[in-house]
């Protein structure tokens, strides 16, 4: 006959186990680590089976825990991101520079394969929110009005480039050529031929408002 254990007995047993753990914490941890080292594969299989058999319960429990601790989680993640922002930015810049050639090749290949779809998406985006594009054009016109503006012959600027991008110094391809302000308008650069250079579209976009 199975022994019936009351809730009070269960509570006392849990209290005794907890008291034993706190009194022998280091010894218990060492024993657990030793067992885990010997039975690593067995533990992994058991955990995988438990997660597989209790997927919905675990998912609901995790969602409930996140709901109760949402503000703390968001605060912790935000603080971590702010603290690591300089390191992350430096790592991304270093990774980009070390993989720049391969990434640009992949980007060119993708654009060549999907040129029609990219143009169609651009047209749809413009049609859905033309005010965004018009606002950007207005800002650019305003910048030109606040700096020196001269008549520009873009064909002459292109001939002066001798077929090489002014930023990466590599030959132009057929996908896109832009005309970049060497000193950006937002930094006080003039809209003049002396301050213009022919570039790849991708190089111009990656440069943004920086002075290189």
pLDDT digits (tens, 9 = 90+) for 141-177: 767 667 777 778 888 888 888 889 988 888 887 667 8
Q: Are 209 and 184 in contact (CB under 8 A)?
A: yes
pLDDT of residue 39: 93
pLDDT digits (tens, 9 = 90+) for 98-131: 998 888 888 888 888 998 888 898 888 888 888 7
The closest alpha carbon to 104, from 202, 5, 175, 208, belongs to 202
pLDDT recorded at residue 101: 85
Share of the chain above pLDDT 70, in %: 95
pLDDT of residue 76: 93
Residue 35 has pLDDT above 90, yes or no: yes
Q: Residue 198: count other Cβ atoms within 10 Å of its Cβ.
A: 22
Q: Per-residue pLDDT for 190 more than 70?
A: yes
Q: How confident is the model at residue 44 (pLDDT cuts 50, 70, 90)?
A: very high
How far, in whole angstroms, is CA 189 from its chain's centroid?
31
pLDDT at 54 over 90: yes
The per-residue pLDDT for 111 is 84
Nearest to 210 by CA among 180, 178, 183, 176: 183
């Amino acid at each position: 006959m199975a022994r019936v254990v009351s809730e009070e007995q269960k509570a006392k047993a849990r209290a005794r186990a907890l008291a034993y753990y706190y009194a022998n914490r280091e010894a218990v941890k060492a024993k657990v680590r030793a067992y885990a080292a010997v039975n690593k594969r067995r533990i992994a299989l058991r955990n995988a089976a438990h997660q597989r058999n209790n997927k919905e319960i675990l998912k609901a429990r995790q969602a409930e825990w996140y709901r109760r601790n949402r503000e703390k989680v968001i605060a912790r993640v935000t603080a971590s991101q702010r603290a690591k922002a300089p390191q992350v930015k430096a790592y991304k810049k270093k990774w980009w520079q070390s993989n720049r050639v391969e990434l640009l090749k992949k980007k060119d290949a993708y654009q060549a394969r999907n040129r029609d779809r990219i143009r169609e998406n651009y047209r749809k985006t413009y049609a859905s929110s033309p005010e965004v594009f018009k606002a950007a054009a207005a800002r650019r016109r305003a910048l030109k009005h606040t700096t020196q503006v001269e008549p520009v012959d873009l064909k002459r600027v292109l001939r002066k480039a001798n077929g090489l991008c002014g930023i990466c110094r590599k030959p132009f391809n057929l996908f896109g050529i832009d005309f970049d302000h060497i000193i950006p308008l937002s930094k006080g650069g003039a809209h003049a031929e002396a301050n213009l250079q022919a570039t790849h579209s991708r190089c111009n976009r990656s440069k943004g408002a920086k002075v290189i």
